[in-house]
Structure 1
Amino acid sequence: MAAATGSPDERYERIFDLVPREAFLGPGPWHIAVHPWKKSYRHRYIETPSDDPVHVNQNVLVALDRTKGINNGEPLLHAGWLGSVNPQRGEVVTHIGAGTGYYTAMLSMLTLPYGSVHAFEIDDNLAERARENLVPFEGVSVTHGDATVLTLPSSDVIYVNAGVVAPPAHWLESLRPGGRMIFPWRPNEDVAVTMLITRGQSEFSAQPLMPAWFIPCIGASDPRQSLRVPDRTGARTIRSAWLTRDRKPDESAAAIFRDVWFSNDSAAPTTVAT
């Protein structure tokens, strides 16, 4: 796990050791997804032979709610994400799609001391389980609600665990200068890629990372908001993101949505559109 972050930060190994995954999954035996890299987020599951934690302390998807296709995500993928956004001591993190709080707990420990994590979970049962699981962790709040319409706190990191066609404009606006947002981008059925957005002063750089398949984000997965979508190759060439109100789409646009668009050009400071 620590090696998968790609980070020299020595805290990761200790944090991954201290946060027991099985404590956030409910009592075993558990159900593990089979063929998790298929395009659909709906999986076939097999039951672990026992409640021995060794069965879930592997790089596997573990069901949180099989009927809804909601899982606790693959640890090595999340390790890579955590290393990419690199949460620091004292930072404010917003976690969207917190599930039962396993990765929320890690985010909390990475922001100690004086940091805070604001978790949002739209499923009421999962939100309640997250509240119970996160009681021992400092600076964590859990909100049951739709983060695509609720106001987010001003954040250094926004960590999104649900597939997004286009990030809502207020997510980008909630990032502080230097803030990082990571989310699974699903502009169409053929593209499923991790997108890392970093805010400058008036611009947002964008970096496509590894593949990522997540359950759709309610409120941010409507394909009807798409005006132009990229193919897989086009998605990999994206270098910046813009709020349409600040800069209108131009010939560099690889993907265009109602309030946000993505460009093949690198981000550069610009004046506000008039």
Structure 2
Amino acid sequence: MTRTQDARKFYARLMAANAGSADPRLEEIFAEVPREAFLGPGPWTIIAGKSRITTPSDDPVHVYQNVLVALDADKGINNGEPFLHAMWIGKLAPRPGESVTHIGAGTGYYTALLARLVSPGLVTAFELEGGLAALARKNLEAYGNATVIHGDAVTTSLPPSDIIYVNAGVAVPPLQWLKALAPGGRLVFPWRPAERVGFAVLVTRTANGFACDPFMGSWFIPCSGASVAGPTAKIPSRQRAARSRSIWLTADRPSDRTATAIFDDIWFSSRGLVTRPGN
């Protein structure tokens, strides 16, 4: 085993342990997919708080830690925090054969992990930045079940999806994202309806509606076209946002006193979904 393989194997154990997932494949996939292949040539710029630190060399062992690696430092784009993504992926529990839409794919590292976990299922990755989309397309050539689209996932219709994985902060998820979820489908996204409100939210489409779980704090760069709420929106405080347990389409059900946040097409409620007999 090489030094890099040894570092990647230990990194994978850390990712799986932090995720708390019962799926042994999670550790296997983190050990299999080479992170350095998605970062460009080293040395690399590591983001630490408000500082930027350059790795001492282009030795890949430097990136097998829970560190943010800059992809475009001037635009604030990085490769993402591995611990966070391991937790998100573990919570989503991707299964072989499922279809995934990845929004904000960057250069494709987490797309590759998802592609391995759902194979032979398909992954459709959207990336708005042209340069990053081109790199992702090249980096994912070895992953035959992954397709990269240079486009806007807010205005483009999404394919039917078992999982929608969003890596850009939104004030409110577009209605079409919810409608693209298959029965039992899961959507995870960084919810940022206000400057001081930031949660990772897991939405599950059930027979009774959309269950909602704000499960951890989360901050991402804004999602173009979906990062600002409309002027009539009811913006929640952090405390109210944390109490959200379901999401409703306004066309199906008008907002009521349980509303924690109200937007044009959807609203969030503190009421959990009621399980009906036989469901």
Superposition TM-score, scaled by structure 2 size: 0.91
Percent identity of paired positions between Structure 1 and Structure 2? 56
Q: Which among 260, 263, 270 is matched to residue 257 of structure 1?
A: 263
Match of 1:9 in 2: 23
Worse-matched range after superposition: 60-69 or 102-111: 60-69
Report the secondary structure of 1:103's partner residue.
helix
- Where do 1:77-226 residues align within 5 Å? 77-112=84-119, 114-224=120-230
- Where do 1:29-44 residues align within 5 Å? 29-35=43-49, 43-44=50-51
Worse-matched range after superposition: 198-207 or 176-185: 198-207
Q: Distance in 2 between matches of 1:248 and 1:269?
A: 20
Question: Using a 3 Å threshold, how does the CA distance of structure 1 residues 250 and 84 change in structure 2: closer, same or farther?
Answer: same
Match of 1:38 in 2: none
Structure 1: gaps of 5 or more residues: 36-42
Q: Distance in 1 between matches of 2:196 and 2:63?
A: 30
Contact 1:203–1:268 (CA under 8 A) maintained in structure 2: no
Note the C-alpha offset of 1:202. Answer: 4.7
Q: Distance in 2 between matches of 1:79 and 1:226?
A: 36
Consecutive aligned runs of 4 or more in structure 1 exceeding 4 Å deviation: none
Report the secondary structure of 2:233's partner residue.
strand
Question: Using a 3 Å threshold, how does the CA distance of structure 1 residues 225 and 183 change in structure 2: closer, same or farther?
Answer: farther
Residue type matched to 2:150 in 1? H
CA deviations 1:164-192 (Å, max 9, x no partner) are: 10000000000011000000110101111
Residue type matched to 1:99 in 2? G
Q: Distance in 2 between matches of 1:64 and 1:132?
A: 15
Q: Which among 34, 43, 46 is matched to residue 20 of structure 1?
A: 34
Q: Distance in 2 between matches of 1:218 and 1:157?
A: 21
Contact 1:92–1:157 (CA under 8 A) maintained in structure 2: yes
Contact 1:100–1:127 (CA under 8 A) maintained in structure 2: yes
Worse-matched range after superposition: 119-128 or 3-12: 3-12
Cα RMSD of the aligned pairs, angstroms, is 1.3
Match of 2:4 in 1: none
Report the secondary structure of 1:228's partner residue.
coil
Whether 1:56 aligns to 2:63 is: yes
Q: Tell me which of the two structures has the higher relative contact order, counting C-alpha pairs closer than 8 angstroms and 6 or more residues apart.
A: 1
Figure out how many residues of one structure are paired with residues of the other and give that number: 262
Question: Using a 3 Å threshold, how does the CA distance of structure 1 residues 225 and 72 change in structure 2: closer, same or farther?
Answer: farther
Q: Distance in 2 between matches of 1:218 and 1:44?
A: 26
Note the C-alpha offset of 1:236. Answer: 1.3
Structure 2: gaps of 5 or more residues: 1-14
Superposition TM-score, scaled by structure 1 size: 0.93
Worse-matched range after superposition: 147-156 or 232-241: 232-241
Q: Distance in 2 between matches of 1:175 and 1:202?
A: 14
